[in-house]
Amino acid sequence: MNDTAPLLLAALLLDAALGEPRWLWSRIPHPAVLMGRLIDACDKRFNRGDAQERRRNGILTMTGLGLGAIALGALIAALPLGWLWQILIAAALLAQRSLVDHVEAVAIGLRRSLDHGKRAVAMIVGRDTGPLDEAAVARAAIESAAENVSDGVIAPAFWFLLGGLPGLLLYKIANTADSMIGHRTPRHEAFGWAAARFDDLLNYIPARLTALFIAVWHGAAPLRCAWEDGEKHRSVNAGWPEAAMAAALNLSLSGPRAYDGEMTSDPALNPKAPRNATAGDITAAVRVLWQVWIVGVAGVAVLAMA
């Protein structure tokens, strides 16, 4: 861990400063894009047969992807200037600046008009945005901010800290696979089962760390809300940072939402708080994102100096 902490610290700072420069990723594929193409190819090639065969193929596919990610990470780390490649790849796969930019765009859009807010939030959520009012757009942005600071910043940083570049690539391939095939749909419920369960496992500790990091700035209320309401969420992990964010902002988040025209019955998190979120609350959520990042960077800096 002492070897990886200085590299992670540099990557966190580099990502926060530069984000995802368009001049670079418009010329070469982003590592996450390459992972997505590989997963899509596996889906087309191996997602076939009856439910039992699809689940077996999904397990084998996820095992192969995971072992390949570990091997690739170890190979890159062993190259000349391996420390530099690890920093650059880690910075590319961390998402603090990108997340902040996308969430802030929703606040900016809402201040212009509801339609602008809907278009901006559609970039970061999967729910139907057509029926959303201003408060629902704001809640959607804040919920996405809370979930993604966990699986886009804290989780990849955590696994890089523990396992270096192999650990980071293992996490990212699992997280990308979950986002692409880990859905309870007729096509992916069996084939994507392994990806979804593995992603749940890898995010279990980071999601709870994120709630703890929010509590560092906002007292015990976020942790209490995460403990009481986090398990109500459809995701075993996302409820923790979302509930903590809800308490930090004194808002009620989550609740029913529509996907492909069908309403869910998700319960609200922090239900006694107001639900009339605004663009100003999105801006407050962005401040929480930076507070979480600061706690993480401070912890990594201490480990780097140990």
Domain that holds residue 286: 4-305
Q: Is the pLDDT of residue 2 over 80?
A: no
pLDDT, residue 26, reads 87
| 58 within 8 A of 190, measured Cβ to Cβ | yes
Q: How many domains does the chain have?
A: 1
| 283 within 8 A of 144, measured Cβ to Cβ | no
pLDDT tens, 144-168? 999 999 999 999 999 999 999 999 9
Helix (H, G, I), strand (E, B), or coil: what is residue 28? coil
45 CB neighbour count, 10 Å cutoff = 10
CB within 8 Å of 81: residues ≥ 6 apart: none
Helix (H, G, I), strand (E, B), or coil: what is residue 243? helix
Q: Token pair for residue 39?
A: 């997963």
Q: Does the CA dihedral 71-72-76-77 come out positive or negative? A: negative
pLDDT tens, 213-251? 999 999 999 999 999 999 998 888 999 999 999 999 999
CB within 8 Å of 110: residues ≥ 6 apart: 116, 117, 120, 134, 137, 138, 278, 279, 282
pLDDT tens, 58-76? 999 999 999 999 999 999 9
Q: Compute CA 32 distance to the chain's CA centroid, rounded to the nearest angstrom.
A: 13
Average pLDDT over every residue of 92-106: 96
Helix axes 31-46, 155-181, angle to 10 degrees: 40
